[in-house]
Amino acid sequence: MINRRRAIGLAFGALPAAWLLRPSACYADQAFKRFLPLLIDLDGWQGKKPDGMTMDMPNASMTTATRDYQRAAAQLHASVVIGPAAAGALAPTQAGMNIQTSDGHMITSTINGLSVTRTFNISQKSGAILVALGPSALFSVSYSGLTEDDALPLAQKFDWKALQAAARQQ
């Protein structure tokens, strides 16, 4: 019987040696890096360092780039997602779904030529803005401690067309 811990330890122990032998394979172009400069500083907000991840698998790949912001008790999280997860998240946007309840709403519209879904939870004073950058690419701004009227102009400070162009380079 194979000892799983030992097999995993041997496999991960060999990784550093493989990196030394094939550095180009380990440090290949990381697709998320092209989005980091587009996750801008916001006046009056403390922004953390932008970060990202690219994962390639057979028949699928995924790229994310994120940056968190804070101003007093208000928080904002900006992210770009490319891949199957983005395609799934964009389903309401692509369907043109609109929902109104006493607790909040989800509204789909076109802003600056792009399909956008805005959600807002009234009691929690939180929501999200999803911008379709392509069929499997999205820009998302989720927020708390802000009104919807304050969040949309903040989301629009990001260059959606530049994000869309960067997403097409995938």
Closest CA to 133 of 150, 117, 120: 117
Residue 20 has pLDDT above 80, yes or no: no
Mean pLDDT over residues 84-98, rounded? 86
Mean pLDDT over residues 39-68, rounded? 93
* pLDDT score at 26: 42
Cβ neighbours for 82, distance < 8 A, ≥ 6 positions apart: 31, 61, 62, 63, 64, 133, 134, 136, 137, 138, 167, 170
Q: In the chain, what are the domain boundaries?
A: 30-168
Query: 73: pLDDT confidence band, cut at 50, 70 and 90?
Result: very high
Q: What average pLDDT does the chain have?
A: 84
Residue 93 has pLDDT above 90, yes or no: no
Least confidently predicted of 13-22, 25-34, 119-128, 140-149: 13-22
